[in-house]
Structure 1
Amino acid sequence: MIEYFEQLSQEEQEEITEVIQILYRQTFVLERKFDKRQGRMVPVREYRVLSKHLEFIRAYFKVAGITLRENTHMGVIYIQGEQLWGEKLSRLATIYLLVLKLIYDEQMETVSSSSHIVTTVGALNGKAGEFRVLRGLPSPTEMRRTIALLKKYQIIEPLDVLEELNEETRLVIYPCIHTVLLGDDLRALLETFSEEDTIGDETTIQNTVEDLSE
């Protein structure tokens, strides 16, 4: 494994180091992301690097007890393992994550030729309202903060300016949401978030991933 790395150019070694750090930080890399300037999905350089050196990087993570997986249909490479610790998620971020997966699954049933789905903030809050899991409509500041966090993890991509957030603000839902949650678990999990529940205000994105994606 070390010999393979040492035979690479310095540029390639730096690229591998970079993508490994990205995977540790955000757990997955998308093949394509939406580019606002071009108005379309474009290839992601880090995904190409991962694909080129996939077996080496897989062996690297295996030493640490972490599994590297590739789903070419969804266009995502991601890691899983009990050793991974994610960032704390607020209650609202956890609810949004669950509801986004529901919306994604529902729309994919009718638009199976697309790998990404577009929804709106209004639809997101409306779906959460159907399950009565929100203690009133979140403030614009709280919604912006939550959407920014989910964007950081490449779960979504806002298509409109967040500072002008409203019910019509569009959100691209990326297929990597499949690596976070399995559809069959969602409705039962959402029902635990009733208005009167005593669940804690925070959870971790990685614990959610591990509990529901195995």
Structure 2
Amino acid sequence: MFEYMENVSQNEAENIKKTIQDLFRQTCILQMKCDPVTMIQRDNPRYQVCLRNREFIEDYLSVLGCELIHDPQEHIFRIAGDGVILEKMTLMTARLVIILKLIYRDRIMGEGLRATTTNMAEIREYGRNTNLVTRKLTNQEWTDALLLMKTHQMIEIPGAIANLEDDTPIYIYGTVNIFCSAMDINELVRKYGDEEAAIESV
């Protein structure tokens, strides 16, 4: 491993280190990233680093109990395994992720790949319609959920989370599907919706 790093350029060695750090911090490396200012997709240089140095990165991660997985259909690299430290997702964040997954599915099926954007007003509307969110969320709940989704490359937002307006566009990445249970999405909606209804009836 050390020999490999010594044989690449100093710039490439630094890129490899930063790419591995990003994998542990955000779980995924996407081929195309949405520019947070223009909301236009651009090539992600970290993805190219993974392609060029895939074997080395796989070997490095395997020592740490992790596996590098390449999904050519979704155009992502991601890590999995016992060595990956997973953030605990609150129940409300999990519900919001499910809502984002629903919106993403509806966009793909109805409007095509170029229309995978949403906003907070629409998220609230989906929450009410599915019974997943039936109360007004606190600013902290929104912040926690959006920050986790942004960190793990599920969404991209322009500017700071605190500055989001109801109609500010939120770009949804296909990676939102990775962070949802493998259960059928309609079953997830029914399960969480029933739980919310049961809580309210108490």
| Normalised TM-score (structure 1) | 0.79
- 2:191 counterpart SS class: coil
Shift of 1:162: 3.9
1:11, 1:165 → 2: CA distance? Answer: 36
Shift of 1:146: 2.3
- 1:143 counterpart SS class: helix
Q: What are the equivalent positions in structure 2 for 1:195-214 lying under 5 Å apart?
A: 195=196
1:13 aligns with 2:40: no
Deviations 1:52-92 (A, max 9, x none): 11121122223333221112332211011133221222222
* Structure 1 residues 195 and 38: CA distance shift in structure 2, 3 A: closer
What code does the residue aligned with 1:149 have?
Answer: L
1:131, 1:45 → 2: CA distance? Answer: 38
What code does the residue aligned with 1:186 have?
Answer: I
1:187, 1:195 → 2: CA distance? Answer: 15
- 2:89 counterpart SS class: strand
* Structure 1 residues 37 and 82: CA distance shift in structure 2, 3 A: same
1:121 aligns with 2:120: yes
- 2:170 counterpart SS class: strand
2:172 alignment partner in structure 1: 173
* Structure 1 residues 6 and 93: CA distance shift in structure 2, 3 A: same
* Structure 1 residues 170 and 162: CA distance shift in structure 2, 3 A: same
Shift of 1:197: 5.8
Q: Which has the higher strand share?
A: 1
Contact 2:36 2:156 in 1 (8 A): no
Of the structure 1 ranges 50-59 and 182-191, higher mean CA displacement relative to structure 2 is found in 182-191
* Structure 1 residues 185 and 41: CA distance shift in structure 2, 3 A: same
1:91 alignment partner in structure 2: 91
Q: Give the aligned length.
A: 197
1:192 aligns with 2:191: yes
Contact 2:66 2:80 in 1 (8 A): yes
* Structure 1 residues 175 and 42: CA distance shift in structure 2, 3 A: same
1:30 aligns with 2:26: no
Shift of 1:181: 2.9
What code does the residue aligned with 1:40 have?
Answer: I
Shift of 1:188: 1.9
Deviations 1:19-39 (A, max 9, x none): 111111221111121214444
Deviations 1:126-149 (A, max 9, x none): 222222122412134432342233
Deviations 1:150-183 (A, max 9, x none): 1122211124764443432221001222332367
Q: What are the equivalent positions in structure 2 for 1:103-114 lying under 5 Å apart?
A: 103-114=103-114
2:80 alignment partner in structure 1: 80
- 1:79 counterpart SS class: strand
Q: Which has the higher helix share?
A: 2
2:64, 2:98 → 1: CA distance? Answer: 29
Contact 1:119 1:171 in 2 (8 A): yes
Q: Which runs of 5+ in 1 are unaligned?
A: 199-214
CA RMSD of superposed structures (Å): 2.5
Shift of 1:41: 0.9
Of the structure 1 ranges 34-43 and 118-127, higher mean CA displacement relative to structure 2 is found in 34-43
1:130 alignment partner in structure 2: 129
